[in-house]
Amino acid sequence: MSLKNKIERPISAGGVVYRIENQQVQILLCGQSDPSSWVLPKGTPDPGETMEETALREVQEETGIQVIIQSYVDKIRYWFSDDSENISFHKTVHYYLMMPVGGSISLHDHEFEKVEWFPVQAALKSMTYDNDRQIIKKGLHIIKATPHP
């Protein structure tokens, strides 16, 4: 007799935080050393939070940067499992394009070892997951279509 996996459908929200320095777009990434990884900031909603509120809070907690939302980028979906609990997860993450308005990366929380600004091409090369790369590329299309001072 085999047991079927239980499927859960968690939802998170996060951001593609960008700035323009010397006429070049830079993207903010969160990283770990062991194993080495670079990802976009994201997290789980607190009870009663909208996706936008979650994205704003999680980005500030994980990066130390206060941000505003410029626009919605897209959502990604992926599967992962916890074999010890016989649970499969089909996660959805909503991403927003964000601009910094305050704070400092020195104020990031303990969830990541490092938070750094990357030029776009370096960010794309450094990303651990292809779906994060695709979200950054979609964010870049929005940035290019938006006038900047």
Query: Is the pTM for the entire model greater than 0.75?
Result: yes
| Tens digits of residue pLDDT in 20-61 | 999 899 999 999 988 889 999 999 999 999 999 999 999 999
Asked whether residue 1 is assigned to any structural domain, the reply reads: no
| Count of the separate structural domains present in the chain | 1
Asked whether residue 26 is assigned to any structural domain, the reply reads: yes
pLDDT above 70 covers what percent of the chain?
96
What is the residue type of 137? Answer: K
Q: Do 57 and 41 contact (CB within 8 A), yes or no? A: no
Asked whether residue 72 is assigned to any structural domain, the reply reads: yes
Alpha-carbon distance of 118 to 22, in angstroms, equals 13
Asked whether residue 149 is assigned to any structural domain, the reply reads: no
Query: Which stretches of the chain are assigned E, i.e. beta strand?
Result: 6-8, 11-21, 24-33, 36-39, 42-43, 65-82, 87-103, 114-119
Q: What's 127's domain CATH number? A: 3.90.79.10
Asked whether residue 87 is assigned to any structural domain, the reply reads: yes
Domain that holds residue 126: 6-144
Asked whether residue 49 is assigned to any structural domain, the reply reads: yes
Instruction: Decide which of 8 and 139 is more confident.
Output: 139
What is the residue type of 145? Answer: A
